[in-house]
Amino acid sequence: MPEGKEFVKHEFDEGISIQAAIVAAEEQLAPVHPLPDAQQALQRMLKADQQQLETLKALGQPYGAKGKLEDVSKGLADLMKDMTHKATLKKAEMSDAYEAHAVLLTLKRKQQDSAAAVQKIGAELGEQQIADAAAQMTQAAASDSQELAASLATLAVQLATAG
């Protein structure tokens, strides 16, 4: 594991790549999600998440971060890609959307944890712009995670009581 500025670059690379996976998933899942409320939430989250992706890219640029896929981010991004692909097929079942939704929630929670760490790193390094942006991302990811968890539970109930 890298240390010093290389670790900061690593954190930004991971954040950028996870955020890109979130944006791609929201773009693909929003139109096909079986819950209208979740569709609307995903569309709303997408706009904010696109902006957060641009912010991460700008903040990571001085460290040379461009969103390099590393072990954790590659694994999560690949899983998200596979699940959204299944959920967007014409023969997709509600359970496919459930699985994709669950992975998206995992990505949001990963971003929440990472943003909290980046917030502390920014504060420690005297990079207030990084600390402030990461604080906003932490709050947004926490709010989105709560909303996604609630709609995932609703979808779970529908699946459990179907047929």
Tokens of 83: 């699940």
> Phi then psi for 25, rounded to 5 degrees?
-65, -45
Cβ-Cβ contacts under 8 Å for 56 (sequence gap 6 or more): 12, 15, 16, 19, 137
User: Of 61, 59, 52, which is closest to residue 122 (Cα–Cα)?
Assistant: 59
Q: What is the pLDDT of residue 163?
A: 74
Q: What is the pLDDT of residue 9?
A: 94
Give how many domains the chain has, as a whole number: 1
**pTM confidence score:** 0.95
pLDDT tens digit sequence for 13-47: 999 999 999 999 999 999 999 999 999 999 999 99
Range of the domain at 13: 5-161
Tokens of 33: 């999600």
Q: What is the pLDDT of residue 123?
A: 96
Q: What is the pLDDT of residue 101?
A: 97
Q: Which ranges of the chain have pLDDT less than 70? A: none
Tokens of 105: 């929630």
